[in-house]
């Protein structure tokens, strides 16, 4: 081999050897049989039943047609549903989704070997769609452990085990497609997205990594048909561990309350506040006599730190505020008129949340945006009128942002004022929620809205 050729080969090898190792996740397995055999006994089927009123008409007692009630059956009927769950404590502690057991009069758990036990509901948290059950077995149960979801990597192999369509134990495999997804299902979304096939009945079941650790609780799918299209979402195990620990200790979840409505910022807005990157949570309204108002926080403040932790966006502030202990005092660093200052806030107790939130409307009193018809709306204040140059005579709700890829995003601009929804005036968020919900119930057609755009009145139809 010539000297020049030797140098070329050596240099090439040197370049190859200089590259760092790629990825630190678990390697792709030769198969899933051994893992499935080991983990399946800890995965359970959960069936629930509850008594609901009959949908058939009932004739008054003593009337001439009372006898026809017999043809319509009893006044109530039993409604049954099914989902999945998994054992995390051999003594009988089980995790599942809240929506699997919500409203149930009786919960039964069927184990891998056919054993059936009645379960008690220890506690549930609708805000994160998690619930904890307890059964009382005669001997220890097979159990699995929660892993560290923060270490899960996009592209890493995962395994889902559950009870789709009531078929019994079923296994599907895939990869992690994305992390920290917000699908507007609630105030604390940070889902793991996976392409593993997850269908109706998988809810509450575990998502395993290749070490056999639970890194997520399967909770939702995105599907026009109701079946798997390869877009499923799991609650990350680190959030699960925190909620389950509190439910086991207290039976309920207490969340901190800051009393602000905030929005994430663009790079341009961040630069106007003297920041080099798009980070922080911009306050656009402050609750009357809430913790933030009492601490002196104002609309227009940009919150960049909460209790020593940097705030990357509005969702992070929401999560940090919710985790803070009610009654505790925390330091909040904010930017106001170019100056960086620290204020001490005594965290309040979030008394009530809107937990019945669908994918079209995302309400977050603790610090996140309010979405109606895929528009983030806010009630007009003097600060917002100045910010968007809205005259005092204009009435309605101002648009702060729109959901990406939505119909609203193609037609609505930030700073627009929504004056009417379905031909009726709107002056509050509650008005808008009701009008939008009523319009969607009455028809699948687009909803007509009246928009004031810097004095120009537009009539637009939003899907």
* Confidence band of 235 (pLDDT split at 50, 70, 90): very high
pLDDT tens-digit series, residues 384-406: 887 777 887 788 999 998 887 78
Mean pLDDT in residue range 246-268:
88
- Structural domain count of the chain: 4
The residues that bridge with 333 in the sheet, in sequence order, are 305, 342
**Domain end call among 250, 273, 297:** 250
- Residue 412 pLDDT > 50: yes
Token code pair at residue 232: 């499923």
Mean pLDDT in residue range 290-306:
92
Using CB atoms within 10 Å of the CB of residue 65, give its burial: 0 to 12 exposed, 13 to 18 middle, 19+ buried: exposed
pLDDT tens-digit series, residues 321-357: 988 989 999 999 999 988 999 999 999 988 744 333 2
The residues that bridge with 216 in the sheet, in sequence order, are 207, 236
CATH of the domain at 273: 2.30.42.10
Tell me the CA end-to-end span of the chain in Å, nearest whole number: 70
CB-based contact 163:169 (threshold 8 Å): yes
Q: Beta 281-286 vs 339-346: how paired, if at all?
A: unpaired
In this structure, the answer to whether residues 245 and 260 fall within a common structural domain is no
3 state DSSP class of 243:
helix
Could you tell me if residue 356 is inside a domain?
A: no
CATH of the domain at 97: 2.40.10.120
Token code pair at residue 12: 């090439």
- Rounded Cα distance, 235 and 332, in Å: 28
In this structure, the answer to whether residues 267 and 242 fall within a common structural domain is no
* Confidence band of 64 (pLDDT split at 50, 70, 90): low
pLDDT of residue 401: 87
In this structure, the answer to whether residues 125 and 192 fall within a common structural domain is no
Catalytic residue among 203, 234, 261, 264: 203
DSSP E strands in 315-433: the ranges are 329-336, 339-346, 348-349, 371-372, 375-379, 397-402, 417-421, 424-425
In this structure, the answer to whether residues 153 and 210 fall within a common structural domain is yes
Closest C-alpha among 130, 136, 145, 230 to residue 188: 130
Could you tell me if residue 66 is inside a domain?
A: no
Mean pLDDT in residue range 87-95:
97
- Residue 50 pLDDT > 90: no
| 362 annotated active-site | no
In this structure, the answer to whether residues 37 and 124 fall within a common structural domain is yes
- Residue 462 pLDDT > 50: yes
Q: Phi and psi (nearest 5°) for 411?
A: -125, -25
Mean pLDDT in residue range 98-105:
88
Q: Output the DSSP codes for 31-69.
A: -SHHHHHHHGGGEEEEEEEEEEE-SS--PPTTSTTGGGG
Q: How many residues make up the chain in this entry? A: 463
Rounded to two decimals, the pTM is 0.64
pLDDT of residue 263: 82
pLDDT above 90 covers a percentage of the chain that reads 40
- Rounded Cα distance, 147 and 128, in Å: 18
Could you tell me if residue 393 is inside a domain?
A: yes
Could you tell me if residue 179 is inside a domain?
A: yes
In this structure, the answer to whether residues 246 and 271 fall within a common structural domain is no
Query: Which residue blocks in 392-442 are alpha helix, DSSP H?
Result: 407-411, 429-442
Could you tell me if residue 21 is inside a domain?
A: no
In this structure, the answer to whether residues 385 and 444 fall within a common structural domain is yes
In this structure, the answer to whether residues 339 and 408 fall within a common structural domain is no
Tell me the average pLDDT of the chain. 82
What residues make up the domain containing 95?
A: 33-60+73-134
380 vs 12: which has the higher pLDDT? 380
pLDDT of residue 363: 35
In this structure, the answer to whether residues 239 and 322 fall within a common structural domain is no
| 383 annotated active-site | no
| 203 annotated active-site | yes
In this structure, the answer to whether residues 282 and 319 fall within a common structural domain is yes
Closest C-alpha among 305, 288, 286, 307 to residue 297: 286
Could you tell me if residue 65 is inside a domain?
A: no
**Domain end call among 108, 134, 160:** 134
Could you tell me if residue 144 is inside a domain?
A: no
pLDDT of residue 73: 59
pLDDT of residue 62: 60
Catalytic residue among 47, 81, 84, 129: 129
Give residue 404's region: left, alpha or beta (phi > 0; psi -120 to 50): beta
* Confidence band of 8 (pLDDT split at 50, 70, 90): very low
Catalytic residue among 81, 82, 84, 99: 99
């Amino acid at each position: 081999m010539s000297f020049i050729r030797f140098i070329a080969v050596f240099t090439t090898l040197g370049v190859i050897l200089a590259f760092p190792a790629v990825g630190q996740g678990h390697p792709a397995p030769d198969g899933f049989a051994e893992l499935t055999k080991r983990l399946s006994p800890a995965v359970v089927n959960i069936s629930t039943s509850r008594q609901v009123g009959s949908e058939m008409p009932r004739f008054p007692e003593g009337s001439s047609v009372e006898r026809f009630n017999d043809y319509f059956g009893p006044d109530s009927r039993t409604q049954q549903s099914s989902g999945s769950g998994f054992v995390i404590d051999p003594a009988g502690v089980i995790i599942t989704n809240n929506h699997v057991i919500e409203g149930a009069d009786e919960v039964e758990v069927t184990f891998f070997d056919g054993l059936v036990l009645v379960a008690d509901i220890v506690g549930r948290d609708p805000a994160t769609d998690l619930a904890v059950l307890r059964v009382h077995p005669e001997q220890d149960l097979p159990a699995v452990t929660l892993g560290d979801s923060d270490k899960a990597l996009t592209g890493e192999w995962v395994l889902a085990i559950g009870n789709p369509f009531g078929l019994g134990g079923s296994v599907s495999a895939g990869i992690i497609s994305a992390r920290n997804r917000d699908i507007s299902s609630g105030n604390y979304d940070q889902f793991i997205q996976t392409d593993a096939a997850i269908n109706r009945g998988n809810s509450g079941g575990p998502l395993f990594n290749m070490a056999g650790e639970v890194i997520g609780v399967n909770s939702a799918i995105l599907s026009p048909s109701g079946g798997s299209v390869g877009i499923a979402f799991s609650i990350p195990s680190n959030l699960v561990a925190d909620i389950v620990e509190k439910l086991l200790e207290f039976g309920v979840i207490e969340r901190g309350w800051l009393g602000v409505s905030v929005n994430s910022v663009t790079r341009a807005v961040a630069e106007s506040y003297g920041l080099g990157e798009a980070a922080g949570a911009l306050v656009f309204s402050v609750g009357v006599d809430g913790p933030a108002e009492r601490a002196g926080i104002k609309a227009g403040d940009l919150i960049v730190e909460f209790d020593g932790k940097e705030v990357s966006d509005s969702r992070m502030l929401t999560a940090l505020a919710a985790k803070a202990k009610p009654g505790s005092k925390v330091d909040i660093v904010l930017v106001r008129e170019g100056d960086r200052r620290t204020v001490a806030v005594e965290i309040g107790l979030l008394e009530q949340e809107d937990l019945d939130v669908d994918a079209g409307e995302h309400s977050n009193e603790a610090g996140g945006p309010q979405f109606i018809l895929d528009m983030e709306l806010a009630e007009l204040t003097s600060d917002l009128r100045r910010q968007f140059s809205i005259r005092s005579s204009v009435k309605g709700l101002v648009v702060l942002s729109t959901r990406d890829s939505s119909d609203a995003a193609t037609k609505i601009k930030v700073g627009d004022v929504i004056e009417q929804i379905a031909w009726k005036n709107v002056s509050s968020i509650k008005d808008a929620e009701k009008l939008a919900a009523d319009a969607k119930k009455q028809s699948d057609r687009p909803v007509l809205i009246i928009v004031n755009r810097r004095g120009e009145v537009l009539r637009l139809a939003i899907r």
